[in-house]
């Protein structure tokens, strides 16, 4: 729900600003609040744990690359489509978890994952007369899904060594912030990180929601396996479709097929949770 709300708010705020400003504000606020918590409540010597390298690498993929690609996708094909396309992440996550983390998901996890992927294709199927979008536009949320899948497995690997989700989230968010800031400075685009005044309330609210969602993400990975948790994270498309229908009626058209795809995705989640 947090990531779906984040996407809708960014979509609204992007009318008057750009996704670079949205991403930078999101990274900055998340890193700020998480480090305050770590400084006050967590022993700082834990930062020297070998798990830090996993959290650092995960931050290079998500939220950094994953969120930027996702934001680009939702401005091109809309929240109601970009959200479900991002939902293809479980397929990659389960495959990586089986190969590198030696997890052994059962038939329910595989079956639920297949339902989730099928829902993505249903949502992407386009009839004549619908809003135009190019196939290449789909690559942005798909790229976000791949980056997210790699990051989730790195997070899980780090949490197996240091089961503290706050440290993991703080390191991941600050890594994304520093790399993104350096990139903008080196390319002379740092001025784009400043949002228009009209977009600040939307981007700031989106940053709060995404930071909370990221914290819940780390906590869930600390409690369960990647192959089970990541498909559950991807209930996001269901809420993205609902929120789009409620708040983006003047921008996007939520068709019955998109709703059916979101429900099919939810069915996949139900199958996984009953494993």
Question: What residue segments make up the domains of the chain, in order of their start?
Answer: 2-273
Instruction: Tell me the CA end-to-end span of the chain in Å, nearest whole number.
Output: 23
CA-CA distance, 63 to 13, in Å (whole number)?
19
Q: What is the CA radius of gyration of the chain?
A: 18
According to the model, what pLDDT value does residue 275 have?
A: 62
According to the model, what pLDDT value does residue 126 have?
A: 57
Residue 34 vs residue 101, higher pLDDT = 34
pLDDT at 219 over 80: yes
According to the model, what pLDDT value does residue 52 have?
A: 93
According to the model, what pLDDT value does residue 214 have?
A: 83
For range 248-272, the mean pLDDT: 75
For range 8-15, the mean pLDDT: 85
pLDDT at 165 over 60: yes
For range 36-51, the mean pLDDT: 89
According to the model, what pLDDT value does residue 128 have?
A: 47
For range 35-47, the mean pLDDT: 88
Backbone angles phi, psi at 244, to 5 degrees: -65, -45
Q: What is the number of other CB atoms lying within 10 angstroms of the CB of residue 50?
A: 9
Residue 275 vs residue 36, higher pLDDT = 36
For range 156-184, the mean pLDDT: 89
pTM for this predicted structure = 0.72
């Amino acid at each position: 729900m947090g990531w779906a709300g984040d996407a809708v708010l960014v979509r609204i705020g992007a009318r008057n600003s750009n996704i670079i400003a949205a991403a930078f504000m999101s990274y900055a606020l998340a890193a700020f609040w998480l480090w305050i918590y770590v400084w006050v409540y967590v022993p700082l010597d834990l930062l020297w744990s070998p798990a830090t390298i996993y959290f650092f690498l995960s931050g290079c993929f998500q939220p950094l690359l994953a969120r930027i690609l996702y934001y680009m996708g939702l401005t091109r094909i809309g929240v109601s489509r970009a959200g479900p396309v991002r939902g293809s992440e479980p397929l990659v996550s389960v495959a990586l978890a089986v190969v590198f983390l030696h997890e052994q998901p059962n038939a329910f996890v595989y079956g639920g994952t297949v339902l989730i992927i099928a829902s993505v294709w249903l949502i992407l199927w386009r009839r004549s007369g619908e809003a135009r979008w190019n196939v290449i536009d789909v690559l942005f949320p798909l790229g976000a899904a791949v980056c997210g899948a790699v990051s989730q497995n790195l997070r899980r690997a780090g949490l197996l060594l240091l089961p503290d989700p706050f440290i993991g989230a703080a390191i991941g968010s600050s890594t994304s912030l520093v790399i993104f800031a350096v990139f903008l400075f080196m390319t002379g685009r740092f001025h784009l990180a400043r949002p228009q005044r009209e977009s600040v309330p939307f981007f700031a609210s989106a940053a709060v929601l995404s930071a909370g969602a990221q914290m819940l993400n780390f906590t869930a990975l600390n409690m369960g396996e990647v192959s089970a948790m990541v498909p559950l994270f991807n209930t996001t498309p269901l809420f993205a479709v609902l929120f789009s229908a409620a708040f983006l009626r003047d921008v996007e058209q939520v068709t019955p097929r998109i709703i059916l795809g979101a429900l099919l995705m939810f069915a996949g989640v139900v199958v996984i949770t009953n494993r």
